[in-house]
């Protein structure tokens, strides 16, 4: 099942820079791990925002939720998920 996932990151100001950098490093490592598994085939940055648009290819809604909630930045994310279906005119 394919999903378009839009993630907006909102890290609160009170977090100190060392903590934020540690979370970002852990996020990068986890994102790479998921991408290498083939479950996160596309990841794009949204220009001018601390946000991304991604395509996930997973077996179920539950698997998608598990992957998203395993991201270290998950507590600071606003996420919009759109299920995708193949278009009959797509090549």
Of the candidates 52, 50, 51, 33, the one whose C-alpha atom is nearest the C-alpha of residue 42 is 52
* Neighbour tally for 6: CB within 10 Å: 15
The tens digit of pLDDT for each residue in 36-76 reads: 999 999 999 999 999 999 999 999 999 999 999 999 999 99
Tell me if the pTM is above 0.95: no
Domain boundaries of the chain, sorted by first residue: 2-84
Percent over 90 (pLDDT), the chain: 93
Instruction: Among 3.30.70.1060, 3.40.47.10, 3.40.50.10860, 3.40.50.2300, name the CATH number for the domain at 2-84.
Output: 3.30.70.1060
The tens digit of pLDDT for each residue in 3-45 reads: 999 999 999 888 889 999 999 999 999 999 999 999 999 999 9
Containing 47, the helix (H) or strand (E) segment is none
């Amino acid at each position: 099942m394919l999903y378009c996932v839009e993630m907006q990151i909102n890290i609160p100001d009170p977090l100190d820079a060392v903590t934020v950098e540690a979370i970002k490093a852990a996020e990068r490592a986890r994102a790479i791990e998921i991408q290498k598994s083939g479950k996160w085939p596309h990841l794009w940055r949204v220009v001018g925002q601390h946000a991304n648009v991604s395509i996930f290819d997973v077996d179920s809604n539950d698997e998608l939720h598990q992957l998203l909630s395993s991201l270290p930045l998950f507590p600071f994310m606003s996420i919009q998920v759109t299920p995708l279906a193949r278009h009959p005119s797509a090549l």
